[in-house]
Structure 1
Amino acid sequence: MELLTIFLSSLIGLVSPIGIVSDRVAESTLRKQFVSVEALQVRIDNAPTYQLLQGRIDRLRLSGRGLVPRKDIRIDRLELETDPIALQGLRLKLAKPLQAGIRIILKEEDINRALRSPAIAAQLQTMVRRNERYSFLNPQISFLERDPLKLGRANRIRVQALLSEKGYPDQLAIVAEAEPKIIAGRTLQLQNLYVTANGQPAPAPVIQALTETIANRFDLRQLEKSGITARILQFSLQPAQLELSTFVQFRPPSKK
């Protein structure tokens, strides 16, 4: 979500009274937020000139493909559409919250590449109870079809990784399968979670602890202290990709 905050902040800059109102220049400016871009289109629905001079536009729409915000992190598709945007004064201060609908498609292969990146590996490490004795190696995710009659829709995920302990050569092959579900549009819950270590089922207390850790870690309410309200409107798994539609409201922190 840090990337989302930076991206939304750049949108505010496009609307400032001394900022950018041209589709082409806006597109060029947004491209600079990414390491690389395969395709990007920006459309600004202009309000009357006097409103533009006040830092207001009716709507901003964006469509992108193959967006790489950081090395080894790729977004296959990104679509964004805002409500009217309005600023007050010459500083980049919102007169009202910025609201947007966002649709994201992530490919399974891109998710696995990201899991191997140093940034994501560091975050995974914090999920091992911040214990430096243990490390996750070679994590991999797969989207599984339970029933071939479901016409290609996946409803389970499998996560595999090796767990190593500092000072010991042996490694545990961890395999976890679950049905992901979004609760109240804001929390990821892993239903029917099943975990094995070297082929042996994990104890029930371990399953419960892992379920609670995931739910707490992926709770969008944590963003509210940063001025972001987010809700997941759609969560869809296919055998090779994940699709996510969200509503986001962005409120920059007030300056005292």
Structure 2
Amino acid sequence: MEVLTIVLSGLLSLVSSGGIILDSVAANRIRSQLISIEEQDIRVDNSPSYGIAQGKLQQVRIATRGVTIKPDLRIAVLELETDRVHFNRDKLDFNSIDGLRESLEQPLQGAAKLIVTEDDLNQALKSPEVVAQMQQVLNRLIIRKAGSTNISYQLIAPQVELNSANRFGVKFNLSRPSTNSEINRNAIAPSSTDSSLTRELAIDLEFKILVLKGKTIRIAEPQGTVNGRPMSSRLLTGFAEGISDRLNLSFLESNGILARILQLEIDEDKLKLVGFAKVETKTTQLSSNR
């Protein structure tokens, strides 16, 4: 969402400024909110030229390469192309979805292409913010499957591996304090050390990613090991279902956003995602049967 906020900020600056050199205005606004950007190409069609004064643009096309949003968050390719844009300039507000929708005179829709490399993903996994978010998801999965809040694992050193045929691999360690019975058992063992106070699991997972009806990402054909031993099919199925349940774009519809995945491809060095989104005006309701 942060990427979209930055792009929308640049886009809305065109409408609010009423500037003449629109390409440069948008380019400078977007660049000012990024750490770095290797390539940027923006094309704005504001025919007729007086349309900008009424908050209207015919089309906006943004193509970027090597976008670094945060120190550990880089996107190899980000491209966006909108349909006709029409805002009420007096109500412009992109600090929230409701504020954005309030300013729309007609639905805002467009398509986007996103490409991230395996190296970019692994660099992002070094970010404390990303690790904290993954930790939250892990905790919810454990509570849901174990039915207890007393079991707590610490996520350590996550790493992903992109494979052909839309297969995605992830490796990480899980660490938790040993129980009293485990500590007592280790205490009488000749090889007992301080490391017996924690229990660490090395997890190696691989699965296939499918897209269903353009709005649901499904984890399929999961395989995995724990400390080199095969995981049970029941545990793998529970993991796949737990993740898949969170990867459904339908939840956006309650906020007036219709989003669909048109293409999702994974090969041995990058992930490519092509999608479509439509933001409704505040007075328009999305159809419940979409």
Short-chain TM bin: 0.7 to 0.9
For residue 155 of structure 1, report the CA deviation from its aligned partner.
3.0
- With over 3 angstroms needed to count, the CA separation of the structure-2 counterparts of 1:31 and 1:6, relative to structure 1, is closer
**Deviations 1:4-28 (Å, cap 9, x if unpaired)?**
2453354233223646752112100
Quick check: 125-134 or 169-178, which moved more?
125-134
Instruction: Give the alignment's Cα RMSD to 1 decimal.
Output: 2.1
1:159 pairs with one of 151, 170, 177: 170
- With over 3 angstroms needed to count, the CA separation of the structure-2 counterparts of 1:140 and 1:20, relative to structure 1, is farther
**Structure 1 unaligned regions, length at least 5:** 146-153
Equivalences for residues 21-36 of structure 1 within 5 A:
22-36=22-36
Match of 1:52 in 2: 52
Q: Which amino acid aligns with 2:153?
A: Y
Quick check: 226-235 or 19-28, which moved more?
19-28
Distance 2:251 2:44 in 1: 31
**Deviations 1:173-209 (Å, cap 9, x if unpaired)?**
1011111111111111111111211122222332222
- With over 3 angstroms needed to count, the CA separation of the structure-2 counterparts of 1:175 and 1:190, relative to structure 1, is same
Q: Percent identity?
A: 37
Distance 1:85 1:77 in 2: 23
Q: Which amino acid aligns with 1:163?
A: L
Is residue 17–residue 90 contact of structure 1 (8 Å, CA) maintained in 2? no
1:115 aligns with 2:125: yes
**Deviations 1:79-99 (Å, cap 9, x if unpaired)?**
110001001252211101211
Match of 2:157 in 1: 138
- With over 3 angstroms needed to count, the CA separation of the structure-2 counterparts of 1:19 and 1:10, relative to structure 1, is same
Q: TM-score, normalised by structure 1?
A: 0.88
1:128 aligns with 2:138: yes
Match of 1:81 in 2: 81
3-state SS of 1:128 partner = helix
1:4 aligns with 2:16: no
- With over 3 angstroms needed to count, the CA separation of the structure-2 counterparts of 1:252 and 1:137, relative to structure 1, is farther
Which structure shows the higher strand fraction? 1
Q: TM-score, normalised by structure 2?
A: 0.78
Match of 1:98 in 2: 108
For residue 105 of structure 1, report the CA deviation from its aligned partner.
0.8
**Structure 2 unaligned regions, length at least 5:** 93-102, 141-148, 179-196, 284-290
Quick check: 47-56 or 58-67, which moved more?
47-56
Please say which structure displays the higher CA radius of gyration. Answer: 2
3-state SS of 2:13 partner = helix
Equivalences for residues 89-238 of structure 1 within 5 A:
89-92=89-92, 93-130=103-140, 133-145=152-164, 154-166=165-177, 168-238=197-267
Moved beyond 6 Å, runs of 4+: none
Distance 1:144 1:22 in 2: 41
- With over 3 angstroms needed to count, the CA separation of the structure-2 counterparts of 1:121 and 1:195, relative to structure 1, is same
Distance 2:219 2:242 in 1: 10
